[in-house]
Chains A and B, each alone.
Chain A
Amino acid sequence: MPRPGFVLEVDRSTPPILFHHGESLRLEKLPAGRTRVLYPGEPLEALDDPEGAIRHALDHPLGDSEPLHALLQPGMKLTICFDDISLPLPPMRRPDIRQRVIEAVLDQAAAAGVDDVHIVAALALHRRMTEAELRHAVGDRVYDAFAPHGLLYNHDAEDPDNLAFLGTTPHGEEVEINKRAAESDLVVYVNINLVSMDGGHKSTATGLASYRSLRHHHNVSTMRRSTSFMDRHSSELHSSNWRMGKVLRDAGVKIFQIETTLNNDTFGTSGPMAVLQKREWEWSARDRASFIAMKGGLDRLPARARRKIFHAWQAPYGLTSVQAGEVEAVHEATTANVFRQQLVEVEGQTDILTMGLPYICPYNVNSVMNPILVMCLGLGYFFNMYRRRPLVREGGVVIMSHPTPWEFHPVHHPSYIDFFEQALADTTAPPEIEARYEKQFAEDEWYRHLYRTSYAYHGVHPFYMWYWGCHGLAHAGKVIVVGGEPRSVRRLGFTAASTLQDALAMAEDVVGRHATITHLHNPPLVMADVT
């Protein structure tokens, strides 16, 4: 029986606590008597028979939907869309759950005599997936059957000939999505809900959309009113996507949503990384030896080798649930299953929130975690891992641990380089950045070309990363980066500290002495339900 997550009150007997630190690790002694640590739950039991569970979900849909086999007919146009490389994190071991689901859907389509099938990676403005990444996601069987005939491809949000405008919401939000999906008799969306933010109408309304559509919810105003992204009912981002979902439905786009949830088995229960998901006081002699060896080795390796080692890791995630059918009914069941794994009740807010940022975020899979992504991961994702109230009080201090090197992947993140050099050098205030620079970057022909033909994130993507953290930025009184490269940390508008103790001393200037501290022991993922 896996143990649920819990809140540890740190005392003098508490050993140093693990902090992820980019492609390295730290052990930090936290002050006793005023610190608590939020630990994730142990991985839930994975389903014994994933294929059986998928078949059951397809045959017993939720909400107002017929079983998949009843929706499939000869001569119809079927489009299967799936989440891109940004999910799950880290990538899961083969077979990826998308492969299992897509194969089950295709089996039924073949049995029903459906000939016209397209498979689309719903990547919105993310970089295109490489052949290896597509093969990993959908499996070799699917890839070899569809990709050579041009029937498996990445969504292109800048291809005017393959976008369809479907209308506007009552709030004036334009809805423009992939034309093939819009004109299909049935869209089957295959989703991985690693966190509660994923899925629902956001899958189609964001994953298959164009910049024209995305700008209505990926903006500073919407992001600041999304408190938090992880709680759909308090997220303006989701409200906007739900409105767009209604436009899609009214325009006749029929969606059969398949959502899956994974357990917390990020680093495995055996092997060299297993120590990273154990509680420190339960580390055995072997765990300690592997930690010492891992840290010693990592600290001596060049950054490129460290990155290669970490990005080669594939998580042994287990499937905890799969549900299919009508979008909203499916998403309600899915979020309940995500919360079952991740949600931990926490009493009250804290003055200082600490977090160790790992080597990976949704936008640097097989890539470099540049300073903008550090900000996005800390203030965008980890800060938002809450329901009801943020973990840190308004005006409190956020302390993130990450080396924050001034380093960018030139192929994946070309517009990030200019954003960092040009926009952030001017101002870090999200509204000003949005007003002064967004349009220029979003419509830049060179970035557009790189997005469509190379493997670059869209020109506007670094703006979205900055907006993603703007709620956290506005909420926190100060942001300190422990171990961060001072130059790049200053450019982000944050303060660099050499050690956690220095950072806590700096934080006292803002929140006073004897401030309460909460550490988010993440990953594996944990989400706070703050009362």
Chain B
Amino acid sequence: MAGLPSAVSRYLPRLPFPFSAPTVPRGVELPPRKPRSGADYDTAWARRYPARLARAALVETVGRPAVAALARPEVHGLDRLDPLVEAGDPVIFAANHHSHVDTPVMLTAVPEPWRHRLFVGAAADYFFRTALTSAVSALAIGAIPIERSRVSRRSADRAAALIDDGWSMLIFPEGGRSPDGWGQPFRGGAAYLALRCRVPVVPVHIDGTGKILRKGRKLPSPATARVTFGHPLVPADGTDSRRFGAVVEQAVAALADEAVTDWWQARRRAHAGDSPALTGPTAPAWRRAWALGDPDRRRTRQRRRWPEV
């Protein structure tokens, strides 16, 4: 009867234990309850076989058709992962982040053998805000909570333990969706985990999802997305997570360049260190928006003539 309103349960006869919750003897201290949400939420259950099976079914029967309908993703560069396919060892997929659609797009684009042994680093303050969102995030996308407001050893330990256990990770190193269509500076989490667990980072560039459901929008509109996988990056001996993080960011920027120009130009600019930065020009907001050069037509159409009062 715990779920019933007290006004109702007051008039119902109390069922005996064990049909109702037990009473607690006086003087006995109850152990702290396992957190049901937030950064300490335990997602171990989501990596057991029943949950994995349910997630695979969700991704294949709901996620894939929905992604196909909304994003019609074009996937490029899978051949760059061929050297890793046979061993199937864990890797970290590090992608730029425009939209909530990025995760389902990636879950359907990541190839085997990693697709069904993949977890997603998700913001603890957003995806694990309540018990329901925590359970749904853990089940549907295999998320684990990552604290983005502060450096957390627990988040890192949890992710490292899973990677050591053979799981691959999908992480958006920008720490959140783009607020204005341009990228944000990469944080060091992916590079740190790669160094700590000695696994390669696969840079991934996602383009077009911002047009489908960018930050601030509630309803998606169909558009074409493009996912480009880069060559796996193995940390060089003696490097640190800051330097390696910069390498990962440059690799994603080069992939972004490749998406709008061509491979040869992108390679030349990458070698020259001239790949356009993901973060866009350092300029006032209107000029950054102007530089994107691709107005959101739907939003323009739906804009209200008069403000709501």
Contact = CB atoms under 8 A, between A and B. Distances in A.
A162 interface: no
Contacts of A285: 2, 21
B306 interface: no
A253 to B, nearest CB: 48
Contact of B22 (A3, A10, A283, A292): A283
A281 B22 contact: yes
B151 interface: no
Interface string B17-41: 1110111111110110000000000
Contact of B24 (A3, A13, A288, A291): A13
A3 B19 CA distance: 27
Interface string B250-276: 000000000000000000000000000
B30 A14 contact: no
Contact of A281 (B2, B19, B30): B30
Given A14-B23, A15-B23, A8 B28 contact: yes
Contacts of A14: 23, 25
A107 interface: no
Nearest to A3: B31
B260 to A, nearest CB: 51
A54 B17 CA distance: 45
B18 A283 contact: yes
A411 interface: no
Contact of A282 (B2, B19, B31): B31
A280 to B, nearest CB: 6
Q: How large is the interface on B (under 10, 10 to 19, 20 to 34, 35 or more residues)?
A: 10 to 19
A348 interface: no
Given A281-B30, A282-B30, A282-B31, A291 B18 contact: yes
A16 interface: yes
Interface in A1-34: 3, 8-11, 13-16, 27
A15 B31 contact: no
Given A281-B30, A282-B30, A282-B31, A13 B25 contact: yes
Contacts, number: 46
Contacts of B17: 15-16, 27, 280, 288
Task: State the main secondary structure of chain A at its contact with B.
Answer: mixed
Contact of A280 (B22, B26, B27): B22
Contacts of A283: 18, 22
Interface string A270-313: 00000000001111010010011000000000000000000000
Interface in B2-55: 2, 16-19, 21-28, 30-31
Interface in B59-105: none
Contacts of A15: 17, 22-23, 25
Nearest to B2: A285
Interface-centre pick from A9, A281, A292 (highest chain B CB count, 10 A): A281
A91 B18 CA distance: 29
A288 B19 contact: yes
B51 to A, nearest CB: 14
Interface string A430-472: 0000000000000000000000000000000000000000000
A338 to B, nearest CB: 25
Contact of B28 (A16, A281, A288, A291): A281
Interface string A489-526: 00000000000000000000000000000000000000
Which of B16, B26, B28, B31 is the most central at the interface, judged by chain A CB atoms within 10 Å of its CB?
A: B28
Contacts of A3: 31
Contacts of B2: 285
Contact of B18 (A10, A13, A282, A292): A292
Contact of B19 (A9, A10, A13, A292): A292
A27 B269 CA distance: 75
A14 B17 CA distance: 11
Nearest to B26: A11
Contacts of B19: 288, 292
B25 A11 contact: yes
Interface in B82-139: none
A27 B18 contact: yes
Contacts of B24: 13, 281
A13 B30 contact: no
Nearest to A287: B18
From B17, B21, B27, B30, residue with most partner A Cβ within 10 Å: B17
Contacts of A281: 22-25, 28, 30
Interface string A389-430: 000000000000000000000000000000000000000000
Contacts of A13: 23-26
Nearest to B33: A284
B18 A8 contact: no
Nearest to B48: A270
A1 to B, nearest CB: 11
User: Which of the listed residues B24, B25, B26, B27 has the most CB atoms from chain A within 10 Å of its own CB?
Assistant: B25
A292 B15 CA distance: 13
Nearest to B31: A282
A13 B27 CA distance: 10
Given A282-B30, A282-B31, A10 B21 contact: no
A288 to B, nearest CB: 4
A291 B16 CA distance: 14
A14 B24 CA distance: 6
A46 to B, nearest CB: 18
A278 B151 CA distance: 36
Interface in A233-288: 280-283, 285, 288
A8 B23 CA distance: 14
A16 B22 CA distance: 9
A17 to B, nearest CB: 10
B30 A10 contact: no
A368 to B, nearest CB: 29
- Report the 9 A-B pairs with minimum CB-CB distance, sorted nearest first: A15-B22, A288-B18, A14-B25, A13-B23, A281-B22, A281-B24, A15-B17, A13-B25, A11-B26
15 contacts: A3-B31, A8-B25, A9-B27, A13-B24, A13-B25, A15-B25, A16-B16, A16-B17, A27-B17, A281-B23, A281-B25, A281-B30, A285-B21, A288-B17, A292-B19
Interface of A: 3, 8-11, 13-16, 27, 280-283, 285, 288, 291-292
Given A9-B27, A281-B24, 16 more contacts: A3-B31, A8-B25, A8-B28, A10-B25, A13-B26, A14-B25, A15-B25, A27-B18, A280-B22, A282-B22, A282-B30, A283-B18, A283-B22, A285-B21, A288-B22, A292-B18
